[in-house]
Structure 1
């Protein structure tokens, strides 16, 4: 067992080592700006996070937020090809849509940071929205839906699982959408309404990190973003329904063209800002992340019932889950394997974890945080994310919150959330030949 003094020393040391300086302010149009200046860097990252995800898809238009991510690369009034313009400045970019937000990120030489500001501001203010662009991107997204959800084994997992877990909240459909017909039926009017509702500066975070000119950056941001109007009264962002409490186990069996049976377990947990979040995250790591985790040791390394098993933490803003993905060995009896899986989960709930196990996780957390903090793009992304939560200070405080988690905390959240009444289970079975 690690001595207490060692653990406390590491925690105190971590608090000093990874402090990331930043400043944040708002433009008059509501755009939140977060700046992290690092003069030693020769590159800069410019990230724009819009507080819109699949949870905000309009009724009967699921997958719309994902479609819009594609439309944002279709050109704007002054920039017919976003990628080409950024590449000419020595940069690269990408985007990702989630359930809660959509993030666009650019990285380029620090001397060219204003190019990225110009590019991002032009598509925020003057995105090209015409029928040709819409038709092109609808085809791309529909094809992606078919390839990933209909043609891939287990590709429709989140269609089954999400609708099992959620009954009223829009988390009940996956990011890619409930049905591809919802995308096919999207109109130009739908697209424009979505743009002027959610892609406004008062619903966005601009994060800039790296070696930009600190004496110019605020004026540059004001120049390119300051005159973009916020959302108007005709584009109200509706409140989302609150999901009722789950009080019993839910289970769904899916017979499909899959290579082998798989068991998916989802235990509902609170949202991203709940005080239990760090302890639940650590619990997931101990339960099923890597070869030293309990599930792997018990069911794969020391047993012959499972080919692979893992656990992860789904960290939605409004609600999350402890996810377990377990693939029985092809020669194993399915019922025996499933029983062993639940016995192992229940073992952790009954016996809990010990201090040496937690100490190993703490050391890995510090190492991971150190290497992540080296990356300018990661800094910009995290600053944008935390600012969207309304808590940019978490960039420096969240590691401390994790390192403050005790064995008692981990064991408490295991008992609190790994309960049958919070479980939703999807089981895949192979079609009979």
Structure 2
């Protein structure tokens, strides 16, 4: 059981506190409810650009990293489709430094043409290196647009086109900041060793005076992605070492009752050497060199993703047919109680590891708070343990259907 308390400041900032006096460190996580889904369509990659801008200096802090390192801390950040998360870890006695730093950049960034130009160069170079110069680097530019037709999940987090970032203007940056980077659109989580008697007063001191969102900058509503009703297929080619097949089966949003079952299904399909696809396609037939499956846990319209790399010198078409046949086998024959028990045991081990790490606890807690249900950190595993074989097989039949599938074949350019 992970004990925590939650409350909200008058300016709308959600606060989560998890005290653990056995730790010598404290973590300060700040999550903003803005991700690539909130990018303007002509400025895709904007949320990711902002992750970089948040380290470029604020009203009283010219360099965030330097100030935190002087306090013995370290930090990082990530941008997803649904949120942007900043997290700091530092000695418990220096917790106040992290509160100061995070509140200062929530209050007011130091905007300038110079800092914007510099961060644009950094992001554009990252785009070139990861999307244009690496094999399969443009995968999600193709795959996301195949999965999603209307929702902004259809572009990757880094952006759809490099020109969208190149054309970003300072006025647009300020608008984005004051629209989304406000306390009423954020969650603050402090975990580890801190003084429970004074922590609320210190949070109030640093954060309570930051103004909430202005009504003149409303956050646009995003319409849900329509249901998928037909099999979708795309074949692309590029300068890649070998062909790879990607399958995506549309499932459910993160809070749907079927989510735990779809998570388990992804493990059963391709979660290691004991998984169905590995046994059928790698170990038994050697048709594939690699095969794996995982969960696309977007807050809306998630899915199960399969990645399969055929072995060299095998008949590609035969391998592709075998991949689809192995998934159909799971749907037709179902899974056994023994297989379910093995996966649940693995998930319990994963859960125990997360609980043992204070940073993982903070990350889990703040993400469940994003969903509006922080108590899930203690109760979600019950949903996994309660699943029956019959329920799991019914979920497999419901979602692992051809008309619910997107297939992307990424092929090697033919030799000249």
What range is the shorter-chain TM-score in?
over 0.9
Confirm or deny that 1:227 pairs with 2:209.
yes
CA offset digits 1:98-155 (Å, max 9, x no partner):
0000000000111111110100000000111111000000010011111111111111
Question: How many Å separate the matches in 1 of 2:60 and 2:292?
Answer: 47
Question: How many Å separate the matches in 2 of 1:218 and 1:45?
Answer: 15
Unaligned runs of 5+ in 2: none
Partner residue in 1 for 2:107 = 125
Tell me, what secondary structure is at the counterpart of 1:264? strand
Tell me, what secondary structure is at the counterpart of 2:189? strand
Confirm or deny that 1:301 pairs with 2:283.
yes
Question: How many Å separate the matches in 2 of 1:96 and 1:405?
Answer: 32
Partner residue in 2 for 1:269 = 251
Question: How many Å separate the matches in 2 of 1:234 and 1:189?
Answer: 15
Confirm or deny that 1:32 pairs with 2:14.
yes
Partner residue in 2 for 1:7 = none
Confirm or deny that 1:285 pairs with 2:275.
no
Give the alignment of 1:205-224 within 5 angstroms.
Answer: 205-224=187-206
Tell me, what secondary structure is at the counterpart of 1:241? coil
Question: How many Å separate the matches in 2 of 1:428 and 1:190?
Answer: 36
Unaligned runs of 5+ in 1: 1-18
Partner residue in 2 for 1:114 = 96
Question: What is the TM-score of this pair, normalised by structure 2?
Answer: 0.99
How many angstroms does 1:431 deviate by? 1.1
Question: What is the TM-score of this pair, normalised by structure 1?
Answer: 0.95
Tell me, what secondary structure is at the counterpart of 1:319? coil
Equivalent residue for 2:318, pick from 336, 340, 362: 336
Equivalent residue for 1:91, pick from 73, 76, 99: 73
Question: How many Å separate the matches in 1 of 2:138 and 2:244?
Answer: 13
Question: How many Å separate the matches in 1 of 2:311 and 2:289?
Answer: 5
Question: How many Å separate the matches in 2 of 1:164 and 1:372?
Answer: 33
Question: How many Å separate the matches in 2 of 1:359 and 1:242?
Answer: 35
Question: How many Å separate the matches in 1 of 2:249 and 2:347?
Answer: 24
Give the alignment of 1:12-411 within 5 angstroms.
Answer: 19-411=1-393
Question: How many Å separate the matches in 2 of 1:206 and 1:31?
Answer: 7
Tell me, what secondary structure is at the counterpart of 2:190? strand
Tell me, what secondary structure is at the counterpart of 2:302? strand
Once superposed, which parts of structure 1, at least 4 consecutive aligned residues long, lie more than 4 Å away?
Answer: none
| Pairwise CA RMSD | 0.7
Question: How many Å separate the matches in 1 of 2:94 and 2:410?
Answer: 50
Partner residue in 2 for 1:8 = none
How many angstroms does 1:59 deviate by? 2.5
CA offset digits 1:360-409 (Å, max 9, x no partner):
11212222211210111111111111111110100101111111111112
Tell me, what secondary structure is at the counterpart of 1:380? helix
How many angstroms does 1:410 deviate by? 1.4
